[in-house]
Amino acid sequence: MTQKLDTSTVHHALSLLKAPVRSSSAGSARARNERLNAEAIASHVVTYLRRQWRFRRGGHLVDDRVVVGHLADVIRSIPQSVTQDHSATDDIKRDAARQFIANELFEAVSEEFQPVHTAVPYSAVGGSCISRR
């Protein structure tokens, strides 16, 4: 069975961002455009995706830093109103903003790179996800 990267996977990665990280990208235009804030969010997303995905371009694996840099550029281009909603206390606004950002990041990574699923079995410390009865 072939796995395909989808928007919901990126959405889930964004949902795991802690509030201070979300808020750091919602500040003034100057703070929002700081590369470090965008890179922190992009790095979080790439780290999450790398659990089961690798990225290729032209048939070669791409270094994570390249993917992070590309996604950071996309994050910096997201309208400030959306980044503010992403850190809102209103769940509806926050989820709509998260979906918008997930769509943007998914499109960016899919257009620039070829996501390749890697079948890495899950294992927790001291055992696997398989129930032993």
- 83 falls within a domain: yes
The model's pLDDT over 29-62, given as tens digits with 9 standing for 90+, comes to 555 446 688 899 999 999 999 999 999 999 999 9
- Provide the domain count of the chain: 1
- 35 falls within a domain: yes
Q: Could you tell me the residue range of the domain that residue 78 belongs to?
A: 7-128
- 133 falls within a domain: no
- Full DSSP string of the chain: ------HHHHHHHHHTS-HHHHHHTSS-HHHHT-HHHHHHHHHHHHHHHTTTEEEEETTEE--HHHHHHHHHHHHHTS-HHHHHHHT-S-HHHHHHHHHHHHHHHHHHHHHHSEEEE-----EETTEESS---
- 1 falls within a domain: no
pLDDT at 128 over 50: no
- 72 falls within a domain: yes
- 120 falls within a domain: yes
- 116 falls within a domain: yes
- 34 falls within a domain: yes
pTM: 0.80
Kindly report the average pLDDT of the chain as a whole number.
84
